[in-house]
Amino acid sequence: MKYLIVGLGNIGPAYELTRHNIGFLTLDRLADKFEADWKSDRLAFKSEIKYKGRNIHLIKPTTYMNLSGKAVNYWLKELKIPKENLLVVVDEVALPFSKLRMRAKGSSAGHNGLKNIEDLTGGQNYPRLRMGIGNDFPKGKQVEYVLGRFSEQEFEELPIMMDKAIDMILGFCTIGISQTMTQFND
């Protein structure tokens, strides 16, 4: 069984520890746990881990957030992975910080990375893991907030949140999305 796990984010040091890059950060932590290396490949940084008989391909698109669909579409086809075995890990302002929610499908909810994936893969019917980053920003300042760095307190709590997300990713690949949602969704 093959899976494609996509962490959304933006490349470059200016974005490295920003809220918008929580997908990248979580996949980095997952790869570290399995001592897996990242390689620069077509449209993405790519890594692969093996877990309980599953081949789990990890990608961090190098297309920048708003064009993430290019990398997702390419790697789904290249690896011949069915869309139900795709999981997109993404930041979510509509959830309080550290809350996690996995869904089998859904709207982009204004998230440009998800919107581009929808546009290029043919719809909203793909699993996603939304990682709550909160919405503690004044009206009209969402872009600055998501592209801003985590607060000191958030940064301290981040490893706990990412470890739970990793458990959810591995659950998705082994026990399936329904059981994982039942067991882990906040």
- Residues that are catalytic: 20
Plot region of 99 (φ>0 → left; ψ -120 to 50 → alpha; else → beta)? beta
Q: Tell me the β-bridge partners of 86.
A: 4
d(CA 18, CA 60): 15
Q: At CA 41, angle to CA 35 and CA 47, rounded to 5? A: 20
Q: At CA 63, angle to CA 25 and CA 9, rounded to 5? A: 20
- Cβ–Cβ < 8 Å for 106, 66: no
> Token pair 């994936």 is at which residue?
117
SS3 62: coil
44 φ, ψ (degrees, to nearest 5): -165, 160
